[in-house]
Structure 1
Amino acid sequence: MAKRRKISAPSADDLSRIEEEFRRETLNAPNPALAPISQVSAEAAQAQPVVDAQTRAEQAQQQSDAAAFEAAKGQGRLIEEIPLEDILADAMVRDRTVIDPQDMSELKASIAAHGLRLPIEVFRREGEAPGFGLISGYRRLWAVRELLGLTGDDKYKSIQALVRDPDALGGSFAAMVEENEVRASLSHYERGRIAVVAAQQGAFASTEDAVAGLFSVASKAKRSKIRSFSLIFEELGDMLEFPENLKERDGLRLSTALRNGAETPLRDALAKVQPGSAEAEWTCMLPVIEAFEITGASDNRGGRPKKKTPDVGWVGQDTLHLSSGVTLQYGSDSQGYVIRLKGRGVDGALVERAMEHLRYLFEKE
């Protein structure tokens, strides 16, 4: 039979000792009445140092300033100092084709005397070098680069810039055009050219859309003129040497002749000469332009007799009568498309030139 253990009641000293040990063991134990997340929050709060109201206000202001800084940077409102070597000036085709040397000299003198008064605009070229592409400020960028080359001064090794993040490529073109229109008006030809280039680079669906988007504040008449000069760039831009010197009236006459089918004769005329001036270039084209102009005036208005306006335009969907007396007709057979030429002046030499021009049209892309 097992021996019974004798149990005796604890003394007052024993009870005091047991109570002290229990209190010591349970002092840092989690409160079973609190959820775990509440316990963590309570412990974190106890670990944080006590700060006064002024310190809390300063911390809140610092957080607000940091958020405002990031917002300004993201929206392109923050001026950054960017090394010249990190900026690609020709990341976009420029709208301005001619820079006046005297204007550049004056700009360099101004920057040297007073610094850069207006930052340039750039956009980030993710994953490419240089890391930034120029949107606006082409002349300012080149002026600073030339000052660096002339002086070697470290202050010209970088330039102040606003880093833009345009929603689409069209936004970059519009920003560039807007700045140049405000600061120094573009020529008629430059306006037409940049509209065509913007459409070709995919910023707009067509030249018509590019004119509407880039020159949205212009009048309807002005946009019509820009479209006329865009036609000149499309059909003769690779051959004209002095297009920026075209006067508005002369450019409109030239575009009218191009619409009437004068492109091939004009290209032929330009290919035969090397004009040394804008006047010589215009003189070379003028006979062709006059031959393809349509006066549209009535014969009974008095004054000098006008040439009778030929019947021109499309007849049906496959025949086109030109003001030169030539008729173009197209069709198709099992081997492809066929174009028939007939009328006054159509001979082997003209057909050969037409073939050369067709080659140009199909290869220029």
Structure 2
Amino acid sequence: MDTLTHLPLTEIDPYALLRDRTALDPAALHQLQYSIATEGLRMPIEVWQLSTPRDGYTHGLISGLRRLTAARALGHQTIPAFLRTPASIPQAMAAMVTENEIRSPVSPWEKGLLIMATVEEGHFETPDAAVAALYKALPRQTRTRLRYFANVAEALDGLLSTPERLSTRQMDRIATALRSNMEDVIRATLFARRGEGLESQWSALLPLINERDEPETTPTRPGRPRRLLQLKQGLTIRREPCRNGWLLRFTGEEARKGALIDDIFDLIEDKFQRR
């Protein structure tokens, strides 16, 4: 039977595991602090004993990051904890994921990021293996969606602002676009808007995603339609749908030269209005 004990907060490593929650909501954390201060901690955290203490930590946190953070903010010296005995780190991570799903669901972005991180850290060989182990209680269709969310996190990590705020619907649409060979144009669009807010970035992605959702009206050659052209000379050309047709957006050092656009006009005129 797992043991209930009181541990010094200084001996618990909150990040001994890769965590599925990348940020704590300040309002929810404040509310939890008030609850603990007035009524005490209702549910102990879960930890396991590290085989080799490191940096002064003797135990690793499995679940209860918000409770541990709140207790530290309140100046508590110890905290009640269930001492678990997971057979492995992946098993401990699966327990963390299950606990968080019950108490406060994690965003689809954070789930995707965790899946990819566990593979990069060597806990699982493939994203599919990570999904199967961490989310084995979920239906197959839901696990498939999580695999697609992992693709989104892998492709766009570092480009989106506050991606944990993306809804499941938004993640689904981005994942579908990525599977339609739109990764290059999506990354280029976000790179041009790095540092902007999520709403602005999403607005920039919508034309691309909407283009993916609209069926082609005429057959095209393999590899078409082309949505992005990036040249070594410092020029990027991206096509975007508009109400009456298409827009070509030119960016980069070469795009600042007015002669470039004159040359393009000449080429189009020569092609469609031959003398």
Q: TM-score range by the shorter chain?
A: 0.7 to 0.9
State yes or no: 1:271 paired with 2:188: no
Decide which structure has the larger Cα Rg and report it. 1
The aligned counterpart of 2:73 is 146
> Scaled by the length of structure 1, what TM-score is found?
0.59
| CA separation of 1:281 and 1:346: change in aligned 2, threshold 3 A | closer
Give the aligned residue type for 1:201: E
Read off the aligned partner of 2:217 and give its amino acid letter.
K
Percent of paired sites with the same residue: 32
Gaps of 5+ in 2: 238-275
Post-superposition Cα deviations, 1:334-356, rounded to whole Å, max 9, x if no partner, equal xxxxxxxxxx9574458999xxx
Q: Pick from 230, 240, 252: which aligns with 2:150?
A: 230
Aligned to 2:50: 125
Matches within 5 A, 1:212-361: 212-274=132-194, 276-291=196-211, 293=212, 295=214, 306-308=216-218, 310=220, 321-325=222-226, 345=229, 347-349=231-233
| Residue identity in the other structure for 1:89 | P
Aligned-partner Cα distance in 1 for 2:197–2:236: 30
Partners of 1:227 and 1:201 lie apart in 2 by 17
Q: CA deviation at 1:232?
A: 0.6
Match of 1:211 in 2: 131
Change (3 A) 1:243 1:308: farther
The count of corresponding residues between Structure 1 and Structure 2 is 235
Q: Cα gap change, 1:351/1:164 in structure 2, threshold over 3 Å: closer, same or farther?
A: farther
Runs of 4+ in 1 over 6 A off after TM superposition: 350-353
| 1:136, distance to aligned residue in structure 2 (A) | 0.7
- Residues 140-165 of structure 1 show CA distances to partners (whole Å, capped at 9, x for unaligned) of 000000000xxxxxxx1011111222
Taking structure 1 as reference, are residues 309 and 248 closer, same or farther at Cα in structure 2, changes over 3 Å only? Answer: farther
List gaps (5 residues or longer) in structure 1. Answer: 1-71, 149-155, 298-305, 312-320, 327-343, 354-365
Quick check: which one's strand share is greater?
2
Relative to structure 1, is the Cα distance of residues 288 and 89 closer, same or farther in structure 2, using a 3 angstrom cutoff? same
CA contact (8 A) 2:3 2:84 kept: no
The structure, 1 or 2, with the larger RCO (C-alpha pairs under 8 Å, 6+ apart) is 2
Distance 1:138 1:246, change over 3 A: same
Q: Check if 1:102 corresponds to 2:102.
A: no
| Offset from partner CA, 1:176-226 (integer Å, 9 cap, x none) | 110110001122212222222222222222111111221112122211221
SS in 1 for 2:82: strand
State the secondary structure of the residue aligned to 1:126. Answer: strand
Query: 2:15 is matched by which residue type in structure 1?
Result: D
1:261 to partner: Cα distance: 2.4
Partner AA of 2:60 in structure 1: G
Q: Secondary structure at the match of 1:94?
A: coil
If the length of structure 2 is used for normalisation, what is the TM-score?
Answer: 0.77
